Amino acid sequence: MAAEIRDALQQTFEKTGIERALCKTCTPDVAGRVLQLGLLDRVDGSSPSCGIKLRRPLNEAIEQFGNCWICTWLWLLAQRRQGSVLSAIPEAARSKAYLGIESQHVHTFEQGRTYSDSSKDERILVRMCIYFDARDAGQGFRYLVNLQHSEESPPRLTDLLTHLPIEKWSSYPPFDSRIRPRKAQLSLLRMWKETCEINHGSVCSTIRTNRVKDIRLIDIRNRCLVESTGFVSHAALSYCWGGPQPHCLKRSNLDSYRQPGGLNDSIVPKVIIDAMKITAALNEQYLWVDSLCIIQDDQLDKAKFLPVMDAIYEQAAVTIINGSNSSVTDSTGLPGVDDPNCRCEHEPFEFNGTWLTETLDPPYGSYGGGFLENARWSSRGWTFQEGMLSRKSIIVTQEQIYWQCQMSSWCEGSFWERSDDRQIFRHYFGDNLLNALFEQPMRIHWTDIYSSMLRNYLSRSFSSEADRLHGLMGILNKIESYTGEKFFWGLPQSRLEQGLVFTTTRSSRQRRESHTALNASGNLISSPFPTWSWFGWTGQVGLQTLHRSIAIGKIGLRFFKVDERGKTIRIDIPEDPPGPYPEGDTRRIVQYPPDAEHEWLDKTRQDVTSDDIPVDLRGHLNITPSLLCFWTSVATLRIEPLGPNNYYNEFCARISDGKNHVLGLWPGIREDFEFPLEGKFIVVGVEKERMSRGGRLTLKLLLVDHDQVTPSICRRKALVTTVVEEQWNRLTNRKWDLVFLT
């Protein structure tokens, strides 16, 4: 990369003839400007500048090619890194595309380790970036180069490892560049691990989950699988599968893989071989890899280990993350571990009197998501909790390797090791998000943590969508252990009434896969994902009603689940889950009256007993785990599609009793939604309107339909919001009925 930049500069000077020739437009922005890079303080509350800021229309940069060294250099960099995009922009549209230089700001988390501590130290790491903005030309926005401060002869990492103890590295300016070799020095990874073990104590060593003892591991010395009978220190690999895994563990090869040498290089993919090399460099003997440590064609084995994968990663001595965009089946392996040709040359160059090197961080979207935000690894479902729950991680990206633990973040290409042990940045989503749960008292409500994590998780995909619940259970268990909040199919039990009214997007569809797990008797059960939970739907969901708002009321519905024996169990809903209420609720004027009475609510019939279970449901062991049983008000209503609505700017329908009582509009419907002439609607929530809309008490309804095979079962089809309660009260066909949702 840096060589490529130097080549572009050299070509620039050959074209311009004069090394520092500038056009009239670039002269005031560049001439005499001194770059200000590194860790800087805010100035009067504003972020510091790198010292140069310019933005040139593409057509003007092309016109000055060969005359101005800045315009020439920017154009050459764009050609080298975005040549195909440049060729797609018509000449007439070049005035709408821009090349520019601006500051890049990395906000530090110094002196603060948790989600709510991010503002304790406002110093900012300032870098310089070169960008190509072709959004107005229909080609998007891209960063071409990100640059950091460097000495003219920055130290080489290989020399540091040979001649200077790591505790002395803090004598170098913080976050300045150092030259990492093209082939990674794995001894650095061991030094990072040992430094963490010596200096971070219980912060990084405490395991906050039950240890898993009996697991299958790869013995990297003997190249075979072993069965552990007690807790064994091990590393774990987090990676993307990327399609079929011909090497994976099956019942047919289990015995051969147990033999010493059974996992030889002809069988094991290069990514896993490189992970073994890192494991050995860390002085660990055992490595856990899901494709080789779980029997992939044995449902009982999968049902045993999938629910405890969170514990496997949390108790791992180190998690090795493949943050490059390679999958396990790619022949390139982990960049830099074995093949030096996978990584670029990393050398300094001079720009306007300041020595720079290109940062080796992967492309990113925003620093809220971390350097791994755009990596394939961050798009996969299983890697979500693998990354969140790992105490210590070695992250292998295309151009450099990172270390991340609970206290620090380090990398190969610059001096992030600090004597005061201040971390600079989190490399993937989380920003110590889970640590907010461990604070006493809690300064952020658990619903904010839950909602934030859920938004990220729902954007991820699985090779098998049937794993969707398993892939989040570790996070949910962690929330439960620190707040007491229990979850039923992903919905918090203390907010179950509010959780039922989650919203879906127009692209959402009912999930058809089933969740497989062992029941209390040890039998393998495959249950459909319930439609009453967001797990039962694809795409993003809205959970605004989970947050404490005085506008949202509570009916007091009693919910029950059914165990494998057909016994009903009331779901315990505590009055007040832990965590603070938000201060200064701006909607106090629309507070839902706490003593509101509901004409349609029958408080004398709310319990569900085993005798209430319909005959056609009994004995269906695959259905009962996802059943939600409760009494509520029910009515069959007529549905009249209206098409696009100008007010809501989306498809709507009118619902009524078919006579004179119109209950209102039903917005937010998919264009391809198949409307029945009439449908069964059930009450699941209450809320008070904003005063601008009248401040009326409203109901939230679910449109449900009955299963054709098991008619007593209902499934959610859609959510209907803001039906005025007075209109519901006037219905003559409403009734108090027992509902079995799945």
Q: Tell me the pLDDT tens digit for each residue of 388-414.
A: 889 999 999 999 999 988 888 899 999
Residue 646: what pLDDT?
A: 66
What does the DSSP 8-state code read for residue 115? G
Residue appearing with tokens 């027992």: 738
Residue 169 counted as domain residue: no
Residue 187: what pLDDT?
A: 97
CA distance linking residue 400 with residue 455, whole number of Å: 29
> Are residue 459 and residue 407 in the same domain, yes or no?
no
Q: Is-contact 349 19, C-beta < 8 A? A: no
> Are residue 404 and residue 461 in the same domain, yes or no?
no
Residue 165 counted as domain residue: no
Higher pLDDT, 646 or 561: 561
Label residue 53 by pLDDT band (50, 70, 90).
Answer: very high
Residues 184-219 as b/e (b if ≥16 CB within 10 A, e otherwise) read bbbebbbbbbebbeeebeeeeeeeebeebeebbbbb
- Per the DSSP assignment, residues forming a β-bridge with 58 are none
Residue 115: what pLDDT?
A: 42
Tell me: the pLDDT tens digits for 690-705?
777 778 899 999 999 9
- The whole-number average pLDDT for the span 409-423 is 78
> Are residue 406 and residue 482 in the same domain, yes or no?
no
Q: Quick one: tokens of 695?
A: 């401040």
Report which secondary-structure segment, H or E, holds 131: strand 124-134
Label residue 207 by pLDDT band (50, 70, 90).
Answer: confident
Label residue 225 by pLDDT band (50, 70, 90).
Answer: very high
> Are residue 476 and residue 611 in the same domain, yes or no?
yes
Please determine, for residue 327, whether its predicted confidence score (pLDDT) is greater than 80.
Answer: no
> Are residue 584 and residue 690 in the same domain, yes or no?
yes
Residue 693 phi/psi, 5-degree rounding, is: -105, 5
Residue 175 counted as domain residue: no
Domain ends where: 149, 181, 211? 149
Domain count within the chain: 3
- The whole-number average pLDDT for the span 495-521 is 87
Q: Which amino acid is at 635?
A: A
Find the range with the poorest average confidence among 136-150, 383-397, 615-629. Answer: 615-629
- The whole-number average pLDDT for the span 363-390 is 77
Sheet-wide strand order for 224-227: 224-227, 216-219, 286-288, 235-238, 318-322, 393-396, 401-404, 409-411
Residue 220 counted as domain residue: yes
Residue 581: what pLDDT?
A: 47
Higher pLDDT, 195 or 641: 195
Q: Is 464 helix (H, G, I), strand (E, B) or coil?
A: coil
> Are residue 416 and residue 457 in the same domain, yes or no?
no
Strands (E), 572-677: 628-645, 650-656, 662-669
Residue 367: what pLDDT?
A: 44
Domain ends where: 364, 396, 425? 425
> Are residue 636 and residue 726 in the same domain, yes or no?
yes
Residue 9 counted as domain residue: yes
Residue 183 counted as domain residue: no
The domain in which residue 9 lies consists of 2-149
Residue 351 counted as domain residue: no
Tell me: the pLDDT tens digits for 467-483?
999 999 998 998 888 88
> Are residue 405 and residue 509 in the same domain, yes or no?
no
What does the DSSP 8-state code read for residue 39? E
> Are residue 124 and residue 249 in the same domain, yes or no?
no
What does the DSSP 8-state code read for residue 46? B
What average pLDDT is seen over the chain?
85
> Are residue 611 and residue 471 in the same domain, yes or no?
yes
Residue 197 counted as domain residue: no
Q: How many CB atoms lie within 10 A of CB 462?
A: 15
CA distance linking residue 426 with residue 410, whole number of Å: 10
Most confident of 181-195, 577-591, 649-663: 181-195
- The whole-number average pLDDT for the span 726-741 is 94
Higher pLDDT, 734 or 360: 734
- The whole-number average pLDDT for the span 78-95 is 93
CA distance linking residue 296 with residue 307, whole number of Å: 15
Share of the chain above pLDDT 70, in %: 85
Share of the chain above pLDDT 90, in %: 47
Residue 185: what pLDDT?
A: 96
Please determine, for residue 530, whether its predicted confidence score (pLDDT) is greater than 50.
Answer: yes
- The whole-number average pLDDT for the span 419-442 is 59
- The whole-number average pLDDT for the span 667-672 is 71
Nearest to 391 by CA among 193, 119, 175: 193
Find the range with the poorest average confidence among 115-119, 151-155, 588-592, 680-684. Answer: 115-119
Long-range contacts of 136-140 (CB under 8 A, 24+ apart): 136/96, 136/97, 137/89, 137/93, 137/94, 137/96, 137/97, 138/93, 139/85, 139/88, 139/89, 139/97, 140/85
- The whole-number average pLDDT for the span 252-261 is 98
Q: Is-contact 529 515, C-beta < 8 A? A: yes
> Are residue 462 and residue 416 in the same domain, yes or no?
no
Sign of dihedral through CA atoms 458, 464, 470, 474?
Answer: negative
> Are residue 468 and residue 419 in the same domain, yes or no?
no
Please determine, for residue 288, whether its predicted confidence score (pLDDT) is greater than 50.
Answer: yes
- The whole-number average pLDDT for the span 315-334 is 87
